[in-house]
Amino acid sequence: MKLLMFYVHDWWYKTASKSLSESPDVAREEGVTNAVVIFFHAEAEDESRREGVLQKFVKNTKWLAGKFGTKNVVLHSFNHLSSSKASPEFARELLDEVTGRLERTGYTVMLTPFGYFNEFRMHVAGDSLAKVFKEF
């Protein structure tokens, strides 16, 4: 699992084109302020260590959000951080589980549509912790 995490003052995205033919048709544009944006990449080996990956994903997200005093989280599947790729089904199920765990503990979660390329804009804070890469 790879996480590229940002604390942003402002995040905006708009769906551009579908990358997975089985994804439902979606046209969406939305934004949020004061948020942690997580670009995640599920790798093939993550499928055999699902529970540990799930726990670390949630823990790292909450850790960074806590550093900036926010409960706003954006999750974006970004399949460009490794040559190893989990199945789309696994990545989608993991995303749903992470979302559920965060929402049950008071976080507001925005999901970019899974299986889409998106146009996006983000205003990342200047703090050193506003840009974090995690691999596990």
What's the pTM?
0.93
pLDDT at residue 105 greater than cutoff 90: yes
| Ordered structural domains, the chain, with CATH | 10-20+27-125 (3.50.80.10)
> Rounded to the nearest 5°, which phi and psi values hold at 117?
-85, 140
Q: For 46-84, what is each residue's pLDDT tens digit? A: 999 999 999 999 999 999 999 999 999 999 999 888 899
pLDDT at residue 36 greater than cutoff 90: yes
- Buried/exposed code over 93-120 (b: 16+ C-beta within 10 A; e: otherwise): bbbebbbebbeeeebebbebbbbbebeb
C-alpha separations of 55 from 60, 94, 118 in Å: 9, 10, 27
For the segment 23-40, the average pLDDT, to the nearest whole number, is: 96
Torsion, CA 52, CA 54, CA 58, CA 59, rounded to 10: 0
